Amino acid sequence: MNGIIPLYKPRGVTSADCVYQLRKILHEKKIGHTGTLDPEVDGVLVICVGQATKLVNRLMISHKVYQGQILLGQETTTEDATGEVVKQKPVDKPYSDQQISTAMLELTGNIKQQPPMFSAVKINGKKLYEYARAGQSVERPIRDVEIYQFKQTESTIFDEQLHQQTIAFEVECSKGTYIRTLAVQLGQLLQVPAHMKQLTRTKGSHFALAQTFTLEQIQAQFAHGQTDFLISLTNLLKPLVSVDLTVNQWQVVQNGGRLKLAQNASEIILRYQGIVKAIYRHQQDFYEPELMLLKNDL
């Protein structure tokens, strides 16, 4: 089985749990995903099956879109609602939409982030959350990430009794962005403790939430011999210029050879009998192998 599955990951399970379940459902060992979602985050988790696992890195670099809520008034150990409160400051007067939008704009563009201690980033062979759980501190790298859009999606909610304010937001960002950290950074600009209250990934690796399938839907379809949930590599790579190979050209490609073609594109897909078999990149006067997908059958 080869292709892409736009999966809906529910809250309360890990991305690895989803991969494990799909291996059992599809009886396929070669399965991977294109970007981890925290257990309490739901939404789009794009799964690569078979030959499509070779495309994981290519799909991971695409923009991602999230919608969620940020709570002003408390900061937690994990930077989200699952952690212990470590800082509190009552919000006696709600921040205006203008104040919030101005702070969001300041966090738009190229910004720097430090991964949360409760994250899977590896330092000296250990994941940060392993250090955190052991009560150890470790120097964390500073990352450059890109925030393409950060905006409010509706009016804020001010809780007069708890002295807290909740902001509904949407963010479009690059690979490697921690939305939890972005919530804390917004609070810092507003000079108030903050954490991410809730989060949903609404778009990832070119797929939107409306295009996803649940594990239950996939299991039901597969049990009846249907695979509507599986997107072929041919459909996935449609935007690229494609070349249909002759028998002789196919022989060359199977041996990893280069081709001289009339196309004028930096990257092309090569198809044999209508099925994607390779991605080639233009180098001087020839096209040379970039990614081989010789066993692809969809």
* Domains of the chain, first to last: 3-61+206-231 (3.30.2350.10), 64-199 (3.30.2350.10), 234-292 (2.30.130.10)
Contact predicate 5/204, CB 8 Å: no
Q: What pLDDT was estimated at residue 120?
A: 75
User: Of residues 17, 38, 97, 244, which has the active-site annotation?
Assistant: 38
Instruction: Identify whether 97 is a catalytic site residue.
Output: no
Among positive and negative, which fits the CA dihedral 99, 100, 105, 111? positive
Q: What pLDDT was estimated at residue 117?
A: 76
Q: What pLDDT was estimated at residue 122?
A: 83
Q: What pLDDT was estimated at residue 254?
A: 96
The model's pTM is 0.92
**202: which 2 tokens?**
């609404």
Q: Which residues of the chain have pLDDT under 70?
A: none
Q: What pLDDT was estimated at residue 298?
A: 81
The Cα-based distances of 86 to 75, 83, 136, 197 in angstroms read 6, 9, 16, 15
